[in-house]
């Protein structure tokens, strides 16, 4: 009975977030932390990773900028709304890969997978605005990054929501203009081969998920 009640509470919470308007980005609510030597020197773009955490109570945001995923900040990732993004360079072309954990490993989370997928979709412009603001000097030094394609990876134990979408150029995706989305399922051989040209994220995130779960 306790597990059922917890599941219902989670569904109600996710439903409330989904039905409400998209969160408005407020710079005063954002805390930026640079982790690692040279991350605030902007001598290079890769490796560069963002971890964004959100507090439901205060609506405060914490953006970690580092050359590796901040595992401490991501502990319990599958129970939270944290988002990870990283710059990838493939054949001299830059891309921004964004990762969201929709459901798993708790079976109860399958009940809210659809809610979480749509919530992440609704709130991702806020995430991208936080990145643009928190790492603004990088974009002043490299304005061409605003034109880079944003690939969003939704990680889920449900095949329906284990997917990747192209949201178009960063400058448009941050405004909620997703352009011509290219949704597809993750984990198929055909899809993996197609994503090789964009820089497949599987190796680093398979290791991450294995560590966190």
Locate the domains of the chain by residue range.
27-178
Which of the pair, 165 or 102, is modelled with greater confidence? 165
Rounded Cα gap, residues 67 and 87, in angstroms = 10
Residues ≥6 apart with Cβ < 8 Å to 42: 137, 138, 141
* pTM over the 0.85 mark: no
Which of the pair, 180 or 92, is modelled with greater confidence? 92
Rounded Cα gap, residues 175 and 68, in angstroms = 27
Residues ≥6 apart with Cβ < 8 Å to 47: 67, 68, 86, 87
Q: Using CB atoms within 10 A of its CB, is residue 152 exposed (0-12), middle (13-18) or buried (19+)?
A: buried
The mean-pLDDT minimum among 58-67, 120-129, 191-200 falls in 191-200
Rounded Cα gap, residues 81 and 101, in angstroms = 8
Per-residue pLDDT averaged across 29-36, rounded? Answer: 91
Q: For 162-205, write each residue's pLDDT tens digit.
A: 999 999 999 999 998 765 555 565 554 444 444 444 344 444 44
- Cα 198–Cα 204–Cα 205 angle in degrees, nearest 5: 95
Report the mean per-residue pLDDT for the chain.
75
Which of the pair, 25 or 192, is modelled with greater confidence? 25
- DSSP conformation letters of 155-210: E-SSTTT-EEEEEEEHHHHTTT---S---EESS-HHHHHHHGGG---HHHHHHHHH
Query: Three-state SS across 128-155?
Result: HHHHHHHCHHHHHHCHHHHHCEEEEEEE
- HSE-up of residue 125 (Cα within 13 Å, Cβ side): 17
The pLDDT-based confidence of 106 (bands split at 50, 70, 90) is low
Give the pLDDT score at 81.
Answer: 77
* Residue 20 DSSP label: S
**Is residue 99 over pLDDT 60?**
yes
Rounded Cα gap, residues 109 and 156, in angstroms = 10
């Amino acid at each position: 009975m306790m597990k059922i009640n917890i599941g219902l509470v989670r569904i109600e919470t996710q439903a409330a977030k989904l039905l409400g308007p998209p969160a408005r980005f407020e710079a005063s609510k954002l805390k930026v932390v640079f982790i690692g030597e040279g991350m605030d020197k902007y001598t290079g773009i890769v490796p560069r990773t963002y971890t964004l955490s959100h507090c439901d109570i205060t609506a405060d945001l914490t953006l970690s900028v580092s050359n590796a995923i901040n595992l401490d900040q991501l502990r319990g990732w599958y129970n939270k709304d944290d988002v990870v993004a990283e710059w990838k360079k493939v054949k001299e072309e830059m891309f921004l890969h964004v990762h969201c954990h929709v459901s798993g490993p708790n079976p109860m989370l399958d009940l809210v997978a659809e809610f979480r997928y749509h919530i992440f979709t609704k709130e991702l412009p806020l995430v991208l605005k936080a990145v643009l603001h928190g790492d603004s000097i990088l974009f002043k030094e490299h304005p061409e990054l605003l034109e880079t394609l944003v690939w969003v990876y939704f990680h889920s134990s449900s095949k329906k929501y284990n997917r990747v979408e192209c949201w178009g150029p960063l400058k448009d995706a941050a405004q909620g203009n997703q352009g011509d989305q290219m949704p597809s399922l993750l984990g198929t051989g055909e899809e993996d081969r197609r994503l090789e040209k964009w820089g497949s994220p599987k190796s680093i995130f398979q290791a991450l998920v294995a560590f966190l779960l």
